[in-house]
């Protein structure tokens, strides 16, 4: 009966949740620079009378609500950093910070978690166990905020951790997760090729870094398609190619950057080795030199089977959720992975696509169907209820 009452309360706070989300949307802050957002979150918990720790692992805020009855300790996580993207939407809540916007729904995650906290506080004496509200900074920029929060030890006594991502790729009313690999490990690399510049009229006296770089890009496309077992999943994508200064000068240097996505550490290392061979071999063939910098980013998000099954069960109980399903993994990355390396738990997508106006994450016109926040909140509440009942 308690949990049904809490679920029903959520609908009453929808307008307030939207107001919070839209305020945060107008005042985004970049990763590791989230001062005003942190103050906003702290102020909300001060008003609620819920104790919290600030500056956890950097800019993290960890609030703890101890129920009046014995039970498990469950963490729920929301991130709150923005992206260096100009908001191009024509809406009243458009970002007021030039060159920065919430293009990945972290504003919605924060509003959702704050609303859950507000309702849970009303029923604190009746609640079993403890709820830990993890407000995480810097999800968008490695090394991220999750690892430093985990390393701080603040979650050492937590029994399980859950989180959701409002997902514009998925229709409203659909909840998606996976019983194992859910999101990929996300790495980045940079290649600098050193050739020999010269006049465009005498190319034979040069070592054209653009030509060499173009050949490197072409050859790297064969790493996944021809050097990796096709039954293994991997992505190698080139993001930037920078060289040259004017139309009639052959460039002496070229810089290439990109990303690699994998689920298996052994495969990850194999790709690094194969990339090195391709780059080295190509540059030797053109008598050029190179540097290859590879940065291993967030590990893959790997859900725990029992907790992932709990997500689907919890979502199926929510009015408005049309489908709660397991899906194939996404090649996008998320530092929620660090929580799951430390504790049992699961991550899931809450469909937030605006019908007829779909824009992907990190797009200048990105937006969400704000009703999805209610479905996310109710699913998380049901997860807490089921976990307390079944453990």
Question: Which tokens is 384 given?
Answer: 């807490």
For residue 46, CA distances in Å to 63, 238, 290 come to 10, 46, 54
Mean pLDDT of 5-23: 96
The verdict on 355 and 375 lying in the same domain is yes
Mean pLDDT of 42-52: 98
What residues contact residue 1 under an 8 Å CB cut-off, 6+ apart?
Answer: none
Is residue 218 pLDDT above 90, yes or no?
yes
Mean pLDDT of 24-37: 98
The verdict on 128 and 269 lying in the same domain is no
Q: What is the structure's pLDDT at 1?
A: 78
Q: What is the structure's pLDDT at 51?
A: 98
| The one catalytic residue among 34, 79, 81, 208 | 81
Q: What is the structure's pLDDT at 391?
A: 59
Taking only the tens place, the pLDDT of each residue in 58-76 is 999 999 999 999 999 999 9
The verdict on 285 and 381 lying in the same domain is no
| The one catalytic residue among 34, 139, 159, 367 | 139
The verdict on 27 and 160 lying in the same domain is yes
Of 125-129, 297-301, 354-358, the one with minimum mean pLDDT is 354-358
Residues linked to residue 167 through DSSP beta bridges, in sequence order? 351
Residue 352 buriedness (CB in 10 A; 0-12 / 13-18 / 19+): buried
Q: Which domain holds residue 70?
A: 2-184+300-390
* Distance from C-alpha of 115 to C-alpha of 18, rounded to nearest angstrom: 10
Write the CATH number for 351: 3.40.630.10
The proportion of the chain whose per-residue pLDDT surpasses 70, expressed as a percent, equals 100
Taking only the tens place, the pLDDT of each residue in 288-318 is 999 999 999 999 999 999 999 999 999 999 9
Confidence bin at 374 (pLDDT 50/70/90): very high
Taking only the tens place, the pLDDT of each residue in 81-94 is 999 999 999 999 99
Task: Using the 3D structure, point to which of 298, 328, 345 is the last residue of a domain.
Answer: 298
- Other Cβ atoms less than 10 A from the Cβ of 344: the count is 17
Q: What is the structure's pLDDT at 144?
A: 97
Confidence bin at 356 (pLDDT 50/70/90): confident
The verdict on 285 and 310 lying in the same domain is no
Choose among 167, 159, 111: nearest CA to 334. 167
Q: Is 139 a residue of the active site?
A: yes
Q: What mean pLDDT, rounded, does the chain reach?
A: 97
The verdict on 65 and 121 lying in the same domain is yes
Pair type for strands 289-298 and 185-194: antiparallel
Mean pLDDT of 201-220: 98
Task: Using the 3D structure, point to which of 246, 266, 298 is the last residue of a domain.
Answer: 298
Write the CATH number for 263: 3.30.70.360
The verdict on 15 and 54 lying in the same domain is yes
Is residue 237 pLDDT above 90, yes or no?
yes
Q: Which DSSP state fits 14? A: H
Asked if residue 170 has a cis previous peptide bond (ω within 30° of 0), the answer is: no
* Structural domain total, the chain: 2
* Distance from C-alpha of 140 to C-alpha of 85, rounded to nearest angstrom: 12
Task: Using the 3D structure, point to which of 282, 298, 314 is the last residue of a domain.
Answer: 298
Confidence bin at 106 (pLDDT 50/70/90): very high
The verdict on 43 and 139 lying in the same domain is yes
What residues contact residue 352 under an 8 Å CB cut-off, 6+ apart?
Answer: 105, 108, 166, 167, 168, 170, 172, 368, 369, 372
Q: What is the structure's pLDDT at 95?
A: 98
- pTM higher than 0.75: yes
Taking only the tens place, the pLDDT of each residue in 142-195 is 999 999 999 999 999 999 999 999 999 999 999 999 999 999 999 999 999 999
Is residue 26 pLDDT above 80, yes or no?
yes
The verdict on 165 and 277 lying in the same domain is no
Q: Helical H runs in the chain? A: 2-12, 14-26, 35-48, 106-122, 146-151, 209-227, 265-285, 305-316, 337-342, 372-390
Angle at the Cα of 289 from the Cα atoms of 284 and 291, rounded to 5 degrees:
120
Q: Is 287 a residue of the active site?
A: no
Q: What is the structure's pLDDT at 317?
A: 97
Residue numbers belonging to the annotated binding site for Mn(2+): 104, 106, 140, 165, 362
The verdict on 279 and 357 lying in the same domain is no
The verdict on 371 and 273 lying in the same domain is no
Q: What is the structure's pLDDT at 120?
A: 97
The verdict on 245 and 366 lying in the same domain is no
Is residue 390 pLDDT above 90, yes or no?
no
Q: What is the structure's pLDDT at 357?
A: 83
């Amino acid at each position: 009966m308690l949990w049904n009452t809490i679920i029903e309360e959520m609908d009453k706070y929808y307008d307030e949740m939207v107001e919070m989300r839209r305020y945060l949307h107008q005042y985004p802050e970049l990763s590791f620079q989230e001062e005003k957002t942190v103050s906003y979150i702290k102020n909300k918990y001060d008003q609620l009378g819920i104790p919290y720790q600030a500056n956890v692992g950097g800019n993290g805020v960890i609030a703890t609500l101890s129920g009046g009855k014995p039970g498990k300790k469950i963490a729920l996580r929301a991130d709150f950093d923005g992206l260096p993207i100009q908001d191009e939407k024509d809406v009243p809540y458009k970002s007021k910070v030039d060159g920065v916007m919430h293009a990945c729904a972290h504003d919605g995650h924060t509003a959702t978690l704050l609303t859950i906290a507000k309702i849970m506080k009303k029923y604190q004496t009746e609640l079993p166990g403890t709820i830990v509200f993890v407000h995480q900074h810097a999800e968008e920029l490695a090394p991220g905020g999750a690892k430093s929060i985990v390393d701080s030890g603040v979650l050492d006594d937590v029994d399980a951790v859950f989180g959701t991502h409002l997902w514009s790729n998925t229709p409203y009313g659909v909840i998606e997760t996976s019983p194992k690999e859910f999101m990929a490990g996300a790495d980045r690399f940079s290649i600098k090729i050193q050739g020999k510049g010269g006049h465009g009229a005498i190319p034979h006296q040069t070592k054209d870094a653009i030509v060499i770089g173009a050949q490197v890009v072409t050859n790297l496309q064969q790493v996944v398609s021809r050097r990796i077992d096709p039954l293994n999943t991997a992505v190698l994508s080139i993001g930037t190619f920078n060289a040259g200064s004017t139309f009639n000068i052959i460039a002496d240097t070229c810089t290439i950057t990109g990303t690699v996505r994998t689920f298996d550490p052994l495969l990850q290392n194999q790709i690094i080795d194969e990339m090195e061979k391709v780059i080295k071999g190509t540059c030797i063939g053109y008598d050029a030199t190179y540097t290859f910098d590879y940065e291993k980013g967030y590990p893959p998000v790997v859900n725990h089977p029992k907790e992932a099954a709990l997500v689907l069960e919890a979502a199926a109980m929510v009015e408005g959720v049309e489908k709660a399903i397991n899906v194939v993994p996404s090649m996008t990355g998320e530092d929620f992975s660090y929580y799951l390396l430390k504790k049992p738990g699961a991550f899931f997508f809450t469909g937030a696509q605006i019908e007829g106006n779909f824009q992907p994450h990190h797009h200048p016109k990105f937006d969400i169907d704000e009703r999805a926040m209610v479905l996310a909140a109710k699913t998380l509440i049901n997860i807490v209820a089921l976990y307390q009942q079944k453990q």
